[in-house]
């Protein structure tokens, strides 16, 4: 099943609870929460307290994307806060196997995120340990950027490689996702779409999610 993850980065920060409840009502599959530390990326966003608060407000899995240096020091905090999925950046971890293993020891889904210019062959020694791969299709740090077109080839190569190895590891894409590019991305092999501005910058965010879900369901059943 193709999934939609609503990224609250583009929501009104004074109304995050409403945004999450709206996403749940619309049929979103995940709530994507971008954690930025002011070092790995220039911005600062949320901490574990927000994750813990949202955990009480929704039954949707919380997909926590750690855009932080030294992710190992943050993993236990987000596990305790109730993150269900935790992704770290390949570019930020000096001890990838150790960090991914730590997420799995906490019984959380372990994801590895790759920046647009990071080649997929760097996944070679770790891919079998992953529960999902997060392909950044913009440079991380901001919502509302344009999708980087060269990522189509990267995603389809990754999909072929995963299939060729007879693995079943979903590909999540993050950045510049819109209703208009979703079909091409589904053809590339995307399993999970993160969408921020394409939802929360719309006049009716609920309709944006419903349309994305309809498209996802059309391809999930075909």
Residues serving a catalytic function are 34, 174
d(CA 145, CA 13): 19
**DSSP classification of residue 115:** -
Q: Which does 181 bind (CB under 5 to 8 A by kind): ligand DX5, Zn ion, none?
A: none
> Of the listed pieces 52-60, 68-76, 93-101, 196-204, which binds ligand DX5 according to CB under 6 A?
196-204
Q: Is 16 in the site for ligand DX5 (CB under 6 A)?
A: no
Give me the least distance between CB of 165 and ligand DX5, in Å please: 27
CA–CA gap between residue 8 and residue 32 (Å, rounded): 6
Candidates 177, 185, 208, 216; binder of ligand DX5 (CB under 6 A) is: 177
Close Cβ partners of 22 (under 8 Å, ≥ 6 residues apart): 205, 206, 209
Phi/psi for 169 (5° steps) reads -120, 115
- Asked whether position 194 contacts ligand DX5 by CB under 6 A, the answer is yes
Q: Does residue 195 bind ligand DX5 (CB under 6 A)?
A: yes
Return the residue of 141, 148, 152, 161 that touches ligand DX5, per CB under 6 A. 141
Integer Cα distance of 86 and 7 in angstroms: 14
A 10 A CB-CB count for 49 gives: 10
Binding characters for Zn ion, 11-40, by CB under 5 A (x = yes): -----------------------x------
**Rounded to an integer, what distance in angstroms lies between the CA atom of residue 138 and that of residue 144?**
9
> For binding to ligand DX5 (CB under 6 A), which residues are involved?
7, 9-10, 32, 34, 65, 138, 140-145, 174-177, 194-198
> For binding to Zn ion (CB under 5 A), which residues are involved?
34, 65, 174
């Amino acid at each position: 099943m193709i999934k939609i993850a609503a990224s609250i980065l583009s929501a009104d920060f004074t109304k995050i609870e409403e945004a999450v409840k709206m996403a749940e009502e619309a049929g979103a599959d995940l709530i994507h929460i971008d954690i930025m530390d002011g070092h790995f990326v220039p911005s600062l966003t949320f901490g574990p307290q927000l994750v813990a608060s949202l955990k009480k407000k929704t039954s949707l899995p919380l997909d926590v994307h750690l855009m932080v240096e030294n992710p190992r020091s943050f993993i236990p905090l987000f596990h305790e806060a109730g993150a269900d999925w935790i992704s770290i950046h390949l570019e930020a971890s000096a001890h990838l196997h150790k960090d991914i293993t730590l997420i799995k020891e906490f019984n959380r889904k372990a994801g590895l995120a790759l920046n647009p210019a990071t080649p997929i062959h760097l996944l070679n020694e770790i891919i079998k340990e992953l529960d999902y791969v997060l392909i950044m299709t913009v440079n991380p740090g901001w919502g509302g950027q344009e999708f980087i077109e060269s990522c189509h080839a990267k995603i389809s190569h990754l999909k072929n490689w995963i299939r060729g190895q007879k693995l079943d590891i979903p590909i999540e894409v993050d950045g510049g996702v819109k209703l208009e590019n979703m079909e091409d991305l589904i053809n590339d092999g995307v399993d999970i779409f993160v969408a921020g501005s394409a939802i929360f910058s719309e006049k009716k965010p609920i309709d944006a999610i419903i349309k994305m879900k309809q498209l996802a369901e059309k391809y999930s059943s075909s």
